[in-house]
Each structure stands twice: as structure tokens, then as C-alpha cells.
Structure 1
Amino acid sequence: MSMFIGSSSQYSQASVDPEKIKLSQIQFDATAATFNKVLSTCASKCLGGEYGESDLVTGEASCIDRCVAKYVKANMVIGQHLQEQHIEPYGSMPEYRKVQQMLEKGRDA
């Protein structure tokens, strides 16, 4: 028996909700896509083509910090605008409509 997670018998009756797995996968994919976009955009803007050192120089580090901050702020402003306008940002994508329905059920419960 682990003092951190308890006995293994408590998990023998656990069930896996496929809807929650799907929701987690959608959230992970969206987060990974955003991260990869920030990475590629900021790297192309802030890093030179040749790498003379293994560490970032001060100018590169501050450029990346500003780039990421701007990207995050822009995403936040766009998200707030979509919420205020009640615009469905994902159109007819069934996965996102399913997520929205699950979130609404969670709020009502």
C-alpha cells in the first residue's frame, strides 16, 4: 500500500469515462498546437540562422519573452472578444460542440 495513492483496491472498481478521455485529448491537442505555433513563430523572429553558442544571448532571450507575452495576450484578447460576442469559435466542429455541451452540463449540475 502506498501512503500517497492509497491501496490499489480502491482503483479496481474505477471506471473510465470515454467522454472525459476525448475532452482531455481535445484539450491536449489544442494546447500542443498553440505551444508549437508560439515556438515556431518566436524562434523564427528572435533566433538567427546560425548558432554560435548553446545558450541564448540577452537580446534573444528578451525577444522571446516579449514575443511569447504578445502571443498570449493576443490570444486572451481574441478569446474575450469571442465570449462577449457569443461567437462560436469552432464553427461546426463536432468535437468542440461536444466539449461545450459537457461544460454546460457541468455548470448545471
Structure 2
Amino acid sequence: MSYFLGSTGQYAHVEVNPEKIKLAEVQFTVMASTFNSVLSRCREKCIVPEYGEGDLATGEQSCVDRCVAKYVKANANIAQHVQFMMLPDQMPEYKKVEAMMRDCK
């Protein structure tokens, strides 16, 4: 018995679609890459390299908040623009994901 799913016998008849698994892996990879990019960029801009204390100072906290908010807003604006334009052939990221999906088949 699983603590999270209860009795797993109820899922015995469910088939796993390998293409959906691969798509989920690609989405996870893209999200992890975005998260790591935000993390490193905001750390560079906001956190002093010499650590004097274990916690962030108030100025560092507000800088990180603003940095992440700007990054998310810019990402959303770009996604909205790309979705509106629907020009996947001109996007290198689209070609990269497309290649990853081809390799997974």
C-alpha cells in the first residue's frame, strides 16, 4: 500500500503512454533549465559573495523577489508573444525540443 496513492491495485489496468512520458520528461527538463537559470542569474545580481550570516539580508530578499518577478513576467510576455505569432520554425528552442522528442521515439 502506498501512503500517497492508497491501494495501487486500482491502477493495475492503466496503460502508460510512452510518448506522454517523453513529453513530460522534456517539459521537466525545460522547467528545470528555466529554474536553474533564474536561480543563478538572481544569485549573481542580488547576493553578496561574502557570506556574513546564514540568512539573506532584507535588501537581498527584496532584490531576489524583484529579480524572480521580472524573470517570470518577461518569460510570460515572451510566451504570449510566441503563442500569438505561432512561428515555431524560427525558434531555436522549438527545434531543440522537437529534436529531443524525435530522439525519444
Normalised by the size of structure 2, how large is the TM-score? Answer: 0.79
Aligned-partner residue type, residue 52 of structure 2: G
Aligned-partner residue type, residue 29 of structure 2: D
RMSD: 2.4
Distance in 1 of aligned mates of 2:37 and 2:3 = 41
Aligned-partner residue type, residue 67 of structure 1: C
Distance in 1 of aligned mates of 2:26 and 2:77 = 22
CA shift for structure 1 position 6: 5.1
- Superposed CA offset, 1:57-103 (max 9, x none): 100000000000000000111111111111213343325777xxxxx
Unpaired stretches in structure 2, ≥5 consecutive residues: none
Query: Given the superposition, is the C-alpha separation of residues 91 and 10 from structure 1 closer, same or farther in structure 2, using an over 3 Å criterion?
Result: closer
Structure 1 residue ranges, 4+ long, deviating more than 6 angstroms after superposition: 1-4
Normalised by the size of structure 1, how large is the TM-score? Answer: 0.77
Does structure 1 residue 92 correspond to structure 2 residue 80? Answer: no
User: 3-state DSSP class of the match of 2:50?
Assistant: coil
Does structure 1 residue 39 correspond to structure 2 residue 39? Answer: yes
Match of 1:11 in 2: 11
Pairs aligned (count): 98
Unpaired stretches in structure 1, ≥5 consecutive residues: 99-109
Does structure 1 residue 27 correspond to structure 2 residue 39? Answer: no
Aligned-partner residue type, residue 95 of structure 2: S
Do 2:23 and 2:101's aligned partners in 1 also have CA atoms closer than 8 Å? Answer: no
Distance in 1 of aligned mates of 2:39 and 2:45 = 10
Query: Given the superposition, is the C-alpha separation of residues 31 and 18 from structure 1 closer, same or farther in structure 2, using an over 3 Å criterion?
Result: same
